[in-house]
Every structure is written in structure tokens, then in C-alpha cells.
Amino acid sequence: MNDPLSDFQLSFQQIELLVPRVNKGIQFILVISGELKIETSSRFYYMEEKDLLVINRNQLYQIQGSENNRVMTLTISDAFMDHHYADYRNRRFECYSKEIDMGREGMILSIRKLLANVMVSYYRQDESYRIEIKSYICQMLLILIRNFKVEGSVLEKLDTGDLRIEQIIDYMEKNYDQMITLEETAKKFFLSTGYLSRYFKQKMGMGFSRYLMNIRLKHSMKDLLYTSDSISQIAMNNGFPNTKSFSAFFKEVYGMTPHVYRDSHHVQKEDSVQSYSKEDTSKFIQSPEIVAKLSSMILEDEKPYTHTETRYEKLPLNLAKPVSMTLNCPSHILHIGEIIELLKEDVRSQVLDVKRDLQLRYIGIRHLFNNTAIPPEVETDEVIPTTSPYFNIDSALEFMKKNELSLFVQSDYMDISRNEEEYFTKLVQFVRHCLQLYGESFIGEWHVMFYEPYNTGAEAKELQRVYVKLYNLLKKMVPQVQVGVYMPFSFSKEKTSDNHKWQLEHGASIDFIGFNANQNDVVDFQELDNSQFDLAKDYIKEKTDKLKRYLKKSHLEKPLHLVAWNTLSGNTRYTNGTFFRGALVLKNVLDIANDVKTVGLWINTIVHEETGKNKRYRMDGVELFHYLNGKRPAYFALMFLKRLHGEVVAHGHEYVMTRNERGYQLILMNGTIINPYFSVEETFLQKLNKEIHVTISGMATGEYQIRKHVFDKDHGALYTKWWNLNSKYGMDAEIIDYIINSSRPSLEIFDETIEEEWSFYSYLTSNAIHFFDIRKTYS
């Protein structure tokens, strides 16, 4: 029976010197302590404690180490790789811990921990250690293949199963700096010149001389970058017959002369590993010290990389290219229900939070003249009344004025029509009172929107009459006040209802237009076919564009206010909690940022839904707060929008980058449109995650501090912690406070030196947002 571990070679060594050799298989090198200098045919690697390097198949390398270093190596055979990874011969792996891009630290940490686990299992050798070791190795290879593979060269594709060609290549690699001819090589390996020529081209896909030139060019690159030798010296030292042939071949491959390449690639000068003895100087080590050292790596408290199911995207950003987009962030209307809500301390506290963190400009209210806000007059024998019917409203308005907030009043036709004369009488009295108390400039900032839904029994002439009366009355008292209409608009028919077409003829007496856009309206959530959810993908942007075209055609181009809207929610609390939709919220607002003046938000659902057990309610608003004062994902998503400022230098479907006086800002999103009912299935959601490889060119060179905010279902969403801390015995104030205070986006900080370009990786779960604040430093 074959040993299950025969495909793997493990060692723990102290290495002073390893002479040049061609690697067989894939080799992981992990420095436990001390230092190593590894020289390959094309470059140097200087490694210290915890550094990791992967040596590819057929790669020539040699090693020089410090005194008393400790090095772990794991080699995986070609046979194992061929059997389990069909594309192995067409790939190579670029994995060096000192040169990974930001965002991949967790992957290196995971490989390092898996290597340590391999060695600890091997030393422990309990009954399942062979299975454990193979499991750890397979996890390492998954990370390597999915994240560090690049297109292989001829060297990786070499068939090592052919011993003769392997010996010939080894001979060429070790003697490339000497005079090597096809004739002499054929003679050395007891072949005819013609046969070797045909045989070599068949196996390697290119002629003998061309392959030899590639080997020499690869080795010359190391001299070009790491030494101060002249171009002629480099040509002679690497077997080229003269400088002209070297320069010509170099330019053919790299598109520039050796001089230009050297000037544009500055690296630290290095001396070649001295291996004249041609004998290894290393020894294998086994001691309790090893297990202790490896165990400490396993227990590192950094978060390792655990994502192997993911989509991969490349995102190149060239800041030198002109960008046509400008970003005008819309203000927000915070709908609180009735104005009386502003008398509650918790509501005031939430309003102040929104004012601080979001673009809050208006407080949206309905039913202005109900009996709670303005109590009915009562008979009294007082000559001068000691109470005011506006006492409650005045307290709310004082709060708004103090905090530079304005009213956005929804004036419902139904409220007016119940007793039209009484309504307008109250309106006149109220406006006079406010003018007397607060002045015209404060009232002039208010917006009053006449509202009647799409399906109405009121005739068009009646709606028109009441609106014109409302408009004329308000404009006569406060000319600056903005009076507008709500326009129900059909997405499929691309027009308003017949009962609202009168609005198109009254542009002179309409200051603005309010509308709604709800992605839930175009989806049947009982259908499991996910393809229909494509209808909702850009629904809010498309509806806004259709409405703008419709208004322009009717010569009614007025400021637009998105007073009610929603992303996918499933129309139920069951999915409203589990379906994280941070990126959907932000992307939808970014999509219409230049098209609307304001975007409406709910403070919470309490003031909007009907009471009653198990009743379904229409989710036609994006709410900012949970019942227990915790912030919902929409709050944090839109907070990033307020923080984004400066000149737009790059933008696309799911990203936007700006340049400002502090440096740069970048938002990345993973907007995912799926049936929210699938959001309770973690396995399904994992397949919607994506990793983005971002490469930015054209940034100002220098030192930067990178602040990375991660906002996803695990960093900022209430329900993840709510679910984890739930108990059948309920929650008390301590648990609730902990959930609220700990549910916020995470923050990571990195220091980066940015030269020609900056490259990094970001792993985004479904509907995640990554916000990068890239700040220039000054020393």
C-alpha cells in the first residue's frame, strides 16, 4: 500500500547554504526564525521571521541563511498536483509575503497557520494525522490556486516525466553563461544534432537556441536590476555573444532597451549567493522548541482568510483619464410621521444623529392639523387664554429652527376634503402664527407637497381645484415657500394616471414634483426564479430617468424629490432583518445623486405601520433606526455618501473615487440583487461574495495612511449580533446596549508608500461596502 503522505516532503531545517537546484513540484518555504536570502534565476528574496515564499516547479534556486535560523519547507509532488489540478502545467504561483497587495494579509496568515498545523500534526502523529495533514495541504492549495495563480511560462509546462529533456534543461540552466551549442549538447547526451533539434522543439514548443536565449535573458534580468554592472558586462556574464544581440533580444521581449528598463525599475542592490563549495550546509532539526514555535503561529489572533467560494474581478483605475461625472449629493427628508413625534427625547436624539452624519435638510410630516398636534379650541372664561393651541408644535419648530432644519409637509387631499373650509382656516392661522414667531426666512424654506395616490376616486378637476387653492393661499402669505405635487408615475406605461394629468398643464403653479420608486413593486417574491430579479436591478435609476423624460416632453421640468422608495426587502420583516442590503441602498442613491434634490428616509417603521399582530405592511420607505434605537444598514450606507467629497476621478457601476485636499477616497460595492428569501441560506450567499483586485495608476506619489472601513452583515448590521445574542429568556438593557454600540462598520489602518501605481485586494460579501480614506501624510 502506498503511503498517503508519499506525495509530500516535510522538513524543519537550519540552513546555512543550499547549492543551486531545480525545484521539483510546488514548495512552500516558511521562516520560523532567523533570516534567509533566496536567489532564483531572475531575482532575490530576502526573508525574515514569519515570511512565506512559494517556489514553482522547475524553478532554479539557491539559499543562503543566517546562523541558527529555523526554516520549514513543504514540497508537494508534480504527481499529486497533476492528479488533482488539471491546469497545473499551465500555471505558476506568485506568492511572497513581503510583496502581497493590501487585502491579502489574511490569506498569507491562513497559509502560515495551515503550514504550522501540518508540522504539528506530523510531530504529534495521532490516529488521524494523515487525514489532517492532507486536509491542511488541500486548503493551502485552494487558497494558492484561487488567489495567487498566473499564466505559466514554458518552464512550468516542461514535462518532467521525460528524464532526458529534464537533464538537458538542467544542463542549460546551470551552464547558460558558457558557450552552449546544439551540436555540443547533442553529443553530450548521445543524440544526433537533427534529432535533438526536432525532439527539443516537440517537447518545449520552441527551438533549442530560442529557449537558451530565454534562459540567458531571465538570468540577465537579475544582473540588470540587482547589480551596477554595465550592459556589456551583463551580456558577457550571461552567455550572450555581444551587447548588440543582448539589447536586441531584450527589446524584443520587454519592449524597451536594457538601459531604459534599469532606469525605470529601482531595487536594492544584492550580491549573489556564494555557493562555490557545491555542497549543502544544512541540518534537520527535531526538538520541543519547534512545536512551541509553530503552536504560537497557530494561535495568532489575527483573522485568517477562510473564503474559498468567491467571484474574482480585476478593477484597473487610471486617474489620468478625464472623468465626465460630477457628484452632487442630495439632501435627505427624514419622515417622522406626525410633528408631535419631535417632542420625544429619543426621536430628537435620533434626528440629531442623522443631522450630524447624513445630509439631513428636512423633517417630513403628515396630518399637520390633527387633534394631537393642535388641540381643538375649548370654551374658557379667561379674558386672555393662558394656553396656546400651538404649544406642542412650537416646541417642535423651535427644535428644528435651532438645528437648521425645515419642514417638508405632506398635505393629503383626503385630510383637506374631510372639511375643506376648516382645513384652510387652520392653515391660515398656523402660518400667521409661525410668521409672527419665527419670521419669513424660516417659513420660506418649507416645502408643502399636495398628495393623492395613483388609485383615487377623486376627479382630476377636483384635485386641480384644491391644489390651486392651496398654492395660491400659501404663496400669498409666504412667496418663498415651495409648493409642489406628488406625481404617481407608472414605470411600465411611462406616464401618470389620468386623474393626475392636470399637473402637466399647471407648471406655472408647481414648484417641485415628488415621486416614489420601490424595487419591491416589480418582483413577485413567491417566485423562486432568480432571473426575474434582474427587473429590480436598476429600477430606481430607470424610473427616475423615465419620469425626467416624461416631464421634459410635457415641458414640466421641475426639481424632483424622491419622497418614498425602497430597495428589495421581501416585503416582510422575515427577510428585512436577514437580507443585508447596505450596498443596494448606497448604489441606488449614488445612481440618482445628480437627478434629485432630496431623498426621503423613514426614522423607523413604528410611525408608519398599522398595529395588529402578524399584519403585513407595505415597505415603501428605507428606515434608519431599529425599534430599540440601533442604527439600520441604510444609516451607515448613507453616512459614507456624506463623507465622500472632492473631484470625481474614477467611477463605474459599483465604485466611485474622488480626489480632495486630504488625498483620495474610494468606495467599492458588491451590489447583489437576489430573492431576499434566499438570504437566510448562508451557503447560497457565499457564492455571491466577490474579491476585487484594484490597481490604481496616476496617484500622487508619496506616503499615505489608508483608513479602510468595512460595512457588511458582520460589521455594522444589527441582526447578526441580535441573532447570536438571542435567548429564549429575553434581553435586558445590557444586552441591547452592547448590540447597538458594537454594530458599526469596522476600521483598519495601513501605511503605504505609493510610487508608480498602487495595487490591493478587497473581499466583499453580499451587498458589502468598503470605504477607503487615502490620506496623504506630511513628515
Predicted pLDDT at 43: 82
* Beta strands 360-366; 331-337: pairing state: parallel
Q: How would you class 433 by CB atoms within 10 Å of its CB: exposed for 0-12, middle for 13-18, buried for 19 or more?
A: middle
Query: Any idea which of 107-111, 112-116, 445-449, 520-524 has the lowest mean pLDDT?
Result: 520-524
pLDDT band per the 50, 70, 90 thresholds, residue 747: very high
Which stretch, 89-103, 300-314, 344-358, 709-723, has highest mean pLDDT?
344-358
The mean of the pLDDT values for the chain is 84
Which cell is 665 given?
477616497
Quote the distance between the C-alpha of residue 429 and its chain's center: 53
Q: Report, as an integer, the average pLDDT of 175-186.
A: 89
Radius of gyration of the chain (CA): 35
Predicted pLDDT at 222: 75
DSSP β-bridge partners for residue 318: 697
DSSP β-bridge partners for residue 495: 490
Instruction: Read off φ and ψ for residue 91, nearest 5 degrees.
Output: -130, 155
| d(C-alpha 453, C-alpha 496), whole Å | 11
DSSP β-bridge partners for residue 448: 409, 483
| d(C-alpha 93, C-alpha 278), whole Å | 28
Q: Give SS3 for 772.
A: strand
User: Does residue 403 carry a pLDDT above 70?
Assistant: yes
- Shortest CA distance to 52 belongs to which of 68, 24, 74? 74
For the stretch 650-708, pLDDT in tens is 999 999 999 999 999 999 999 988 776 665 555 556 678 888 999 999 999 999 999 99
| d(C-alpha 381, C-alpha 395), whole Å | 26
Q: Report, as an integer, the average pLDDT of 487-507.
A: 93
User: What DSSP letter does each residue of 718-735 carry, written as one string?
Assistant: HHHHHHHT--TT---HHH
CATH 3.40.30.10 fits 162-264, yes or no: no
Better-scored residue on pLDDT, 436 or 270: 436
Predicted pLDDT at 612: 38
Predicted pLDDT at 732: 78
Give the Cα-Cα-Cα angle 574, 584, 455 (nearest 5 degrees).
70
pLDDT band per the 50, 70, 90 thresholds, residue 277: very low
- Shortest CA distance to 669 belongs to which of 776, 741, 580, 758? 580
Q: Report, as an integer, the average pLDDT of 637-649.
A: 94
| d(C-alpha 520, C-alpha 533), whole Å | 10
**Any alpha helices (H) in 177-317, and if so which ranges?**
182-188, 193-204, 208-226, 231-237, 243-254, 258-264, 288-298
Q: Report, as an integer, the average pLDDT of 241-269.
A: 82
Contacts of 692 (CB under 8 A, 6+ apart): 313, 314, 315, 668, 761, 762, 764
Query: Any idea which of 40-54, 254-268, 305-319, 363-377 has the lowest mean pLDDT?
Result: 305-319
Q: How would you class 201 by CB atoms within 10 Å of its CB: exposed for 0-12, middle for 13-18, buried for 19 or more?
A: middle
Asked if 108 and 123 count as a contact pair (C-beta separation under 8 A), the reply is no
Instruction: Read off φ and ψ for residue 34, nearest 5 degrees.
Output: 80, -160
Q: What share of the chain in percent tops pLDDT 90? A: 44
pLDDT band per the 50, 70, 90 thresholds, residue 585: very high
* Amino acid, single-letter form, for residue 553: K
Q: Grid coordinates 422608495 are at which residue?
A: 565
Give 8-150's CATH code, choosing from 3.30.230.10, 2.60.120.10, 1.10.10.10, 2.60.40.1180: 2.60.120.10
**Any alpha helices (H) in 592-704, and if so which ranges?**
633-643, 682-686
| d(C-alpha 640, C-alpha 7), whole Å | 50
Asked if 718 and 632 count as a contact pair (C-beta separation under 8 A), the reply is yes
Which cell is 364 given?
417630513
Predicted pLDDT at 768: 94
Which cell is 566 given?
425602497
How long is the chain?
A: 779
CA dist 443 to 226, 407, 409, 434, 652, Å?
Answer: 73, 8, 12, 7, 40
User: Does residue 400 carry a pLDDT above 80?
Assistant: yes
* Amino acid, single-letter form, for residue 745: P
User: Does residue 466 carry a pLDDT above 90?
Assistant: yes
Q: Report, as an integer, the average pLDDT of 389-402.
A: 90
Asked if 640 and 654 count as a contact pair (C-beta separation under 8 A), the reply is no
* Beta strands 746-754; 647-652: pairing state: unpaired
Better-scored residue on pLDDT, 313 or 376: 313
Predicted pLDDT at 322: 85
User: Does residue 3 carry a pLDDT above 70?
Assistant: no
Q: Give SS3 for 669.
A: strand
User: Does residue 302 carry a pLDDT above 70?
Assistant: no
**For the chain, how are helix, strand and coil distributed in percent, rounded to 5?**
40, 25, 35
Better-scored residue on pLDDT, 595 or 575: 595
Angle (deg, nearest 10), helices 208-226 and 163-174? 40
Query: Any idea which of 16-25, 290-299, 739-748 has the lowest mean pLDDT?
Result: 290-299
User: Does residue 110 carry a pLDDT above 60?
Assistant: yes
Q: How many helices (H) and strands (E) does the chain have?
A: 25, 29
- Residue 240 CB neighbour total at 10 angstroms: 23
Q: Report, as an integer, the average pLDDT of 214-243.
A: 85
Query: Any idea which of 98-102, 154-158, 368-372, 507-511 has the lowest mean pLDDT?
Result: 154-158
Predicted pLDDT at 605: 63
DSSP β-bridge partners for residue 327: none
User: Does residue 576 carry a pLDDT above 60?
Assistant: no
Which stretch, 393-397, 726-730, 735-739, has highest mean pLDDT?
393-397
Better-scored residue on pLDDT, 494 or 725: 494
Which stretch, 486-500, 529-543, 566-580, has highest mean pLDDT?
486-500
**Any alpha helices (H) in 242-388, and if so which ranges?**
243-254, 258-264, 288-298, 345-357
Domain residue ranges of the chain, discontinuous segments joined by +: 8-150, 162-264
* Beta strands 406-412; 447-451: pairing state: parallel
Q: Whole-structure pTM over 0.75, yes or no?
A: no
| d(C-alpha 213, C-alpha 218), whole Å | 9
Asked if 65 and 35 count as a contact pair (C-beta separation under 8 A), the reply is yes
Predicted pLDDT at 615: 42
pLDDT band per the 50, 70, 90 thresholds, residue 444: very high
| d(C-alpha 746, C-alpha 261), whole Å | 41
Predicted pLDDT at 433: 93
Which cell is 508 given?
406655472
Give the Cα-Cα-Cα angle 223, 228, 229 (nearest 5 degrees).
65
Q: How would you class 263 by CB atoms within 10 Å of its CB: exposed for 0-12, middle for 13-18, buried for 19 or more?
A: exposed
| d(C-alpha 613, C-alpha 79), whole Å | 64
User: Does residue 613 carry a pLDDT above 50?
Assistant: no
Q: Grid coordinates 489608508 are at which residue?
A: 706
Predicted pLDDT at 616: 44
* Beta strands 331-337; 598-602: pairing state: parallel
